[in-house]
Amino acid sequence: MNPVFKKVMYPLFFGLMLFLSFNKHSKDKQRSYHDVIWADAAGYYVYNTIWFVYGNNAAAYPDSMDVKTGDGFSLDKNTNRVTTKYPCGTAILQSPFFLTAHLIASSLGYKKDGFSEIYSYLLYVSGMFYCFMAMLLLIGFLKRHFSSFISIASVIVLFAASNLFYYTIDAPGMSHIYSFFVFSCIIYLTPLLLANKSFNNLLLFFSLVVLALLIRPTNAFIALFPLFYNVYNSIDFRNRIRFFLEGKISLLLSLLFSLIIAVPQMVYWKSTFGHFISYGYRNERFDFWKNPKLIEVWFSAMNGLFIYTPLVLLCLLGVIIMLRNKDKLGIYIGLLFFLISYIFASWWNWWFGCAFGARSFVEYYSLLIIPFCYLWQFVKNRMALKITFFAFIAFCCFINLSIEYYYDGCFYGNTWDYDAFFKLIVS
């Protein structure tokens, strides 16, 4: 691909993302469910107001701000503490944009209170930035194994044909785009770590893993990616394990230093709940672990993965191609897909509330794009398959973008209400 074209294409694409986001939110009413700082997103975001504005002092906050932002956090009048069940990893990544908004708020005529419009605007930019950087990192990784065209085009297809688009453009306050970024960082770093297991690379790797856990605890499985990357047999796998076990002192020190990232979370837990380690989702459990709602998670009209994002079906076909090529990374991705499906299907709220499709899978698209590229490479010289492949991609883009521009943030039908789902497409 022409280097000059790439230099122009990337800024234009980022500019397009910004335009789409600000245009989509141009008519949003602040302190409504359309606001980017609302409900779950407010629960992630509130750490920044604790760290940089009010402290963990509920009385200092604007009156009833917890209610006005959708009850994503609570201003506890009894303890005078700000209570949020969500971990702080999302807020850590948002903090540079929060501080920028805080710095310029007064000069632009906005309240310097952590909740005025300027903070929402910078959250839009935050979501765009982390999605864009994640896409660049994925392209850089994929180009190690596939052509530049397949690498770049696959990532663009992923954006246009999945709910990654929604959680970048519409809901950048949610955690998923930040997990997607951290996953992409780990994937990109892995070949560099395997080529040079320096203390700095180990520290960066473990820091990213800790950050992933601080965004969503279920993100822990991404830590296993380096064990399976470029592994083709049992000997390779044993050698990979030996590789990481060598130099135990450097390994342990890098792991220890990486835990510094968790200090803000532990300080908050101690201040709010009285313990350095606490479980925020106190009354929420995996109620269906004996009877997981897998069929619902995959095929329900109410946020079913394959219904809203059929592109994942192509990714899973690509896993088969990886296994045929004896690439053990295919085993990891395939087993991980079924494992996280089981975990999400066991959660009491398996549809994850108001969501666009199966939002809990968004971060894992950074892994699923790898088998998707395998499939693209497999079909590119097979005309009939290639036509079918591109037709299905076009169908996926149509489904995703048709729903995206009319979606109101929640699916209002019941579990198997496909009539309500099809109305989203043709409305």
pLDDT tens-digit readout, 323-369: 999 999 999 999 999 999 999 999 999 999 999 999 999 999 999 99
Indicate if the pLDDT at residue 3 is higher than 70.
Answer: no
Residue 24 within a domain: no
Task: Among 72, 101, 121, give the residue marking a domain's end.
Answer: 121
Structural domain count, the chain: 2
In this structure, is residue 23 part of a structural domain? no
**CB-neighbour burial class of residue 107 (10 A; exposed 0-12, middle 13-18, buried 19+):** exposed
Identify whether 369 is part of a domain.
Answer: yes
pLDDT score at 276 = 95
In a domain? residue 273: yes
The reply to whether 105 and 222 lie within a common domain is no
Residue with tokens 């065209």: 149
Residue 427 confidence (pLDDT): 66
Residue type, 386: K
- How confident is residue 14, by pLDDT bands cut at 50, 70 and 90? confident
Residue 319 has what pLDDT? 98
Range of the domain at 80: 29-121
Amino acid occupying residue 60: A
Q: Is 114 helix (H, G, I), strand (E, B) or coil?
A: coil
Whether 304 contacts 358, CB under 8 Å: yes
Exposed/middle/buried for residue 351 (C-beta within 10 Å: 0-12, 13-18, 19+): buried
Residue type, 224: L
- At position 135, the amino acid (one-letter code) is M
Which comes out higher in pLDDT, residue 280 or 192? Answer: 192
Where among 121, 137, 167 does a domain terminate? 121
Burial class (CB in 10 A: 0-12, 13-18, 19+), 303: buried
The answer on pLDDT for 29 being more than 80 is yes
Q: Tokens representing 320?
A: 């088969």
Claim to verify: residue 184 and residue 100 sit in the same structural domain? no
Q: How confident is the model at residue 2 (pLDDT cuts 50, 70, 90)?
A: low
Q: Residue 81: beta bridge partners?
A: 76
What does 277-308 look like in DSSP terms, one character per residue? Answer: S--S-TT---TTTTS--HHHHHH-TTT-HHHH
pLDDT at 28: 81
Tokens of 285: 């459990």
Judge if 311 and 417 occupy the same domain.
yes
CB 186, CB 208: distance < 8 Å: yes
Q: Could you give the CA distance from residue 26 to residue 21 in angstroms, rounded to a whole number? A: 8
Are residues 110 and 179 located together in one domain of the fold?
no
What confidence score (pLDDT) does residue 5 get?
65
Q: Do 312 and 414 belong to one domain?
A: yes
The pLDDT, as a whole number, for residue 167 is: 97
Record the tokens describing residue 185, joined without a space.
């960082």
pLDDT for 24 equals 86
**Any idea which residue has 């995703």 for tokens?**
400
Same domain, 350 and 310: yes
**97 in a structural domain:** yes
- Residue 161 sits in the same domain as residue 38: no
Residue written as token pair 């999302």: 90
What is the pTM assigned to this prediction? Answer: 0.96
Both 257 and 394 in a single domain?
yes
Same domain, 50 and 11: no
pLDDT band at 11 (very low <50, low <70, confident <90, very high): confident
CB atoms within 10 A of CB 34: 15
CB-CB contact of 111 with 102 (8 Å): no
Share of the chain above pLDDT 70, in %: 98
Kindly state whether residues 391 and 279 are assigned to the same domain: yes
Phi, psi of 18 (to 5 degrees): -60, -45
Domain's final residue, options 86, 121, 156: 121
Residue range 137-142: mean pLDDT, rounded: 98
Residue 108 inside a domain? The answer is: yes
Claim to verify: residue 208 and residue 300 sit in the same structural domain: yes
For residue range 38-65, list pLDDT tens digits in order.
999 999 999 999 999 999 999 999 999 9
Give domain status of residue 212, yes or no: yes
In a domain, 81, yes or no: yes
Q: Do both 163 and 103 map to the same domain?
A: no
- Residue at token pair 């596939």: 146
Residues for the chain: how many in total? 427
**What's the whole-number average pLDDT of the chain?**
95
How far apart (Å, rounded) are the C-alpha atoms in residues 126 and 99? Answer: 12
DSSP state, residue 36 = S
What's the pLDDT band for 30 if we cut at 50, 70, 90? confident
Q: Give pLDDT tens digits for 160-209.
A: 999 999 999 999 999 999 999 999 999 999 999 999 999 999 999 999 99
H or E element at residue 74 = strand 74-76
**In 3-state terms, the chain is what percent helix, strand and coil (to 5)?**
70, 0, 30
Residue range 266-271: average pLDDT?
Answer: 97
pLDDT at 6: 67
The Cα 297–Cα 342 span in angstroms is 9
Q: What are the Cα distances from residue 407, in Å, to 316, 327, 354, 359?
A: 27, 39, 11, 14
For 11, 84, 112, 330, 335, the CA distances from 106, given in Å and listed in that order, are 29, 28, 6, 52, 51
Reported as a single tens digit per residue, the pLDDT across 85-111 is: 999 999 999 999 999 999 999 999 999
Angle CA 362–263–205, to nearest 5 = 50
Continuous segment of H or E residues that includes residue 253: helix 248-258
201-243, pLDDT tens digit by residue? 999 999 999 999 999 999 999 999 999 999 999 999 999 999 9
